[in-house]
């Protein structure tokens, strides 16, 4: 994916990385790049022109504009409501942590060391003890847990925070996908497992302690809200969260680039962090015991994936469920028509829809209808309603869908019912189209030759694998030299595993295969 390199020239040329051309020069908003022509530049242009982000004067940092935040808040409200049912409580921890805490030799998060940003000076004074900006939340939160967890009665402890994290990496930053400073969800659950059920840990942790339950919420966010198909599964040992016992993930796929992208994760941390931070308690037998922990992660990458999957050559395409404006009402002037009367009808239409729970607004600015049409198409509003003198005379309105540009005349008398039906249809259609495109990119490959061919064809590859780390490392190394590194995306859960015929061999090692796993290039 293209980075911020060349950001200044791009933004100067198009008023911010692709902003629509000035009204005096053009009669409509337009993009300079095509999605199927130059995907990287198209994406950078869309996220600025649609007013999702603006560039900042520090590379890798972006301003998240109101449209982006409104999408995030809709997803956040859904997730908050669901985890509240699970008795998860909100909190906020400091953004800073000490050098000693982060660089502790036993810290499982030491894998983030190269990406940590440090505060080393205050004014003109060098700090004796350097302070790190939070790269992840575990090391910030867990030192407090031993103070709060003393007895089995203090468990489970379920905390969530919506917080900023900084990972100082300039390796190809991409707006809303990979950047330095991001807002994310970081939830942490500490609980007790009785010794007699430890043998059944994986099933109990999944089903009782919410690792899989949370992952299902993430699937719903992607598929039900963002209309993006995802695959649920387990990350390999090489790809799991540092210090965790295992990681579950939802994986999306971008057909245009042939790359997977990790959508959100739900981790079982086991007792690794509890051991490090001495999170112990007195159990029911009055014996000293150690907690088990889970954590969950989601961030703004979800919105970048949505842009990549649904956007087109007119700009952003928003699924109705996450659109802050679901319907834009545009008056259409005609010769000597009384525009005030048309404006009044537009206002009444917006009020009718708003009272019915539809997020509707009107555009009565002085710009031409064609300018307004392309402007709201650029911003991805799902449905446009046009009202002119002829429409008023016939007691009807013209509705135009953003996803496929189809037009329909509907009677004023049933506008609410029809608009809601169309919005539901748009939501489902976006998902169906995205899934059809994603599924067309999935290739079953049972040999190395089939695998490399599929990789070069930008496919999401499902292959039989022996589940050995050395083999995964070898695949990365070999494909790095041939066509760009491939990695495991996820292994589908047991209930989603295709049948493995007896005698099936690993595509890479030739050893007996243990499971089907998705592979591919990745962001």
Bridge partners of 90, per DSSP, are 160
The interaxial angle of helices 415-440 and 339-355, nearest 10 deg, is 70
Distances (CA, A) of 112 to 116, 137, 506: 6, 12, 32
Cis peptide leading into residue 156 (ω within 30°): yes
Q: If residue 232 lies in a helix (H) or strand (E), which one and from where to where?
A: strand 231-234
pLDDT at 18 over 70: no
Predicted local distance difference test score (pLDDT) of residue 461: 99
**Highest mean pLDDT, choosing among 165-179, 286-300, 414-428:** 414-428
pLDDT mean over 332-352 = 92
pTM value? 0.89
**Highest mean pLDDT, choosing among 146-155, 280-289, 381-390:** 381-390
User: pLDDT: is 230 or 98 the higher one?
Assistant: 230
Alpha carbons 141 and 120: distance in angstroms, whole number: 22
Averaged pLDDT score across all residues of the chain? 87
Which has the minimum average pLDDT: 49-53, 279-283, 360-364, 376-380?
279-283
- Using one digit for the tens of pLDDT, what is the confidence trace for 509-520? 999 999 999 999
pLDDT mean over 307-314 = 98
Alpha carbons 497 and 500: distance in angstroms, whole number: 8
Cβ count near 247 (within 10 Å) = 25
Using the structure block, give the residue that is written with the tokens 């990350």. Answer: 235
Alpha carbons 69 and 196: distance in angstroms, whole number: 46
Q: Which residues contact 141 (CB under 8 A, 6 or more apart)?
A: 93, 159, 161, 186, 188
User: pLDDT: is 22 or 346 the higher one?
Assistant: 346
Here the tokens at position 359 are: 């997020």
Alpha carbons 75 and 469: distance in angstroms, whole number: 36
Q: Which of 356, 355, 353, 357 is nearest to 321 (CA)?
A: 357
pLDDT mean over 102-126 = 74
pLDDT mean over 311-326 = 99
Predicted local distance difference test score (pLDDT) of residue 110: 56
The separation between CA 11 and the C-alpha centre of its own chain, rounded to angstroms, equals 25
Predicted local distance difference test score (pLDDT) of residue 189: 66
Region of residue 147 (left: phi > 0; alpha: psi -120 to 50; beta: else) = alpha
Predicted local distance difference test score (pLDDT) of residue 184: 57
Predicted local distance difference test score (pLDDT) of residue 168: 77
Predicted local distance difference test score (pLDDT) of residue 242: 86
Predicted local distance difference test score (pLDDT) of residue 80: 92
| Residues 308, 214 contacting (CB under 8 angstroms) | no
Q: Residue 376's pLDDT band (boundaries 50, 70, 90)?
A: very high
Predicted local distance difference test score (pLDDT) of residue 2: 47
Alpha carbons 437 and 310: distance in angstroms, whole number: 11
Q: Which of 489, 36, 502, 510 is nearest to 251 (CA)?
A: 489
pLDDT mean over 184-209 = 47
Predicted local distance difference test score (pLDDT) of residue 103: 67
Alpha carbons 102 and 137: distance in angstroms, whole number: 11
pLDDT mean over 103-117 = 64
Which has the minimum average pLDDT: 178-182, 371-375, 416-420, 487-491?
178-182
pLDDT mean over 124-130 = 91
Percent of the chain scored above 90 by pLDDT?
A: 63
Q: Which residues contact 396 (CB under 8 A, 6 or more apart)?
A: 409, 410, 411, 412
- Using one digit for the tens of pLDDT, what is the confidence trace for 202-239? 444 444 458 999 999 999 999 999 999 999 999 999 99
Q: Residue 482's pLDDT band (boundaries 50, 70, 90)?
A: low
Percent of the chain scored above 70 by pLDDT?
A: 85
**Highest mean pLDDT, choosing among 8-17, 122-131, 427-436:** 427-436
User: pLDDT: is 254 or 285 the higher one?
Assistant: 254
pLDDT at 27 over 70: no
**DSSP annotation string for 404-444:** T--EEEEEGGGHHHHHHHHHHHHHHHHHHHHHHHHHHTEEE
Alpha carbons 488 and 462: distance in angstroms, whole number: 10
pLDDT mean over 248-265 = 96
pLDDT at 87 over 70: yes
pLDDT at 180 over 70: no
- Using one digit for the tens of pLDDT, what is the confidence trace for 71-86? 999 999 999 999 999 9
What domains are defined for the chain? 7-65 (no CATH), 72-309 (3.30.930.10), 320-425 (3.40.50.800), 442-522 (3.30.110.30)
Predicted local distance difference test score (pLDDT) of residue 187: 56
């Amino acid at each position: 994916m293209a980075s911020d390199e060349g950001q200044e020239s791009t933004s100067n040329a198009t008023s911010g990385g692709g902003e629509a051309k000035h009204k005096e020069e053009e009669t409509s908003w337009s993009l300079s790049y095509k999605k199927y022509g130059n995907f990287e530049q198209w994406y950078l242009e869309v996220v600025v022109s649609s007013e999702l982000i603006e560039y900042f004067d520090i590379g890798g940092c972006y301003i998240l504009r109101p449209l982006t935040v409104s999408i995030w808040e809709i997803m956040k409200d859904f997730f908050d409501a669901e985890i509240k049912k699970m008795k998860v409580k909100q909190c906020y921890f400091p953004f800073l942590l000490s050098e000693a805490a982060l660089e502790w030799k036993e810290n499982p998060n030491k894998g983030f060391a190269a990406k940590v940003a440090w505060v080393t000076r205050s004014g003109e004074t060098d700090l004796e003890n350097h302070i790190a900006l939070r790269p992840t939340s575990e090391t910030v939160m867990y030192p407090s847990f031993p103070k709060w967890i003393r007895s089995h009665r203090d468990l489970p402890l379920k905390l969530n925070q919506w917080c900023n994290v900084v990972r100082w990496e300039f390796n190809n930053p991409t707006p809303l996908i990979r950047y330095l400073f991001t807002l994310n969800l970081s939830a942490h659950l500490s609980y007790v497992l009785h010794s007699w059920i430890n043998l059944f840990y994986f099933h109990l942790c999944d089903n009782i302690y919410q690792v899989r339950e949370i992952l299902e919420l993430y699937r719903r966010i992607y598929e039900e809200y963002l209309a993006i198909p995802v695959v649920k599964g387990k990350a390999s040992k090489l790809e799991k969260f540092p210090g965790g016992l295992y990681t579950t993930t939802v994986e999306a796929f971008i057909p245009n680039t042939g790359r997977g992208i990790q959508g959100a994760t739900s981790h079982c941390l086991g007792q690794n962090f509890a051991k490090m931070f001495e999170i112990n308690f007195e159990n029911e037998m009055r014996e000293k015991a150690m907690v088990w922990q889970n954590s969950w992660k989601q961030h703004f990458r979800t919105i970048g994936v949505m842009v990549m999957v649904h956007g087109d050559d007119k700009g952003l395409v928003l699924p109705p469920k996450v659109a802050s404006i679901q319907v834009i009402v545009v008056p259409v002037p005609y010769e000597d028509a009384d525009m005030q009367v048309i404006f009044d009808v537009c206002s009444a239409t917006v009020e009718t829809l708003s009272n019915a729970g539809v997020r509707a607004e009107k555009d009565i600015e002085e710009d031409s209808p064609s300018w307004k049409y392309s402007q709201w198409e650029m911003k991805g509003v799902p449905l446009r309603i046009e009202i002119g003198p002829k429409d008023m005379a016939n007691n009807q309105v013209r509705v135009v869908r953003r996803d496929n540009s189809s037009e329909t005349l509907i009677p004023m008398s049933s506008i609410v019912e029809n608009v809601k039906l169309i919005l539901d249809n748009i939501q489902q259609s976006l998902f169906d189209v995205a899934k059809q495109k994603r599924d067309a990119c999935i290739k079953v490959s049972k040999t190395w030759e089939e695998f490399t061919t599929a990789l070069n064809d930008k496919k999401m590859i499902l292959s039989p694998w022996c589940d050995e780390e050395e083999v995964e490392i070898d695949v990365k190394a070999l494909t790095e030299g041939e066509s760009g590194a491939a990695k495991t995306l996820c292994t589908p859960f047991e209930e989603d595993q295709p049948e493995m015929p007896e005698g099936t061999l690993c595509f890479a090692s030739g050893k007996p295969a243990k499971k089907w796993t998705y592979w591919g290039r990745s962001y």
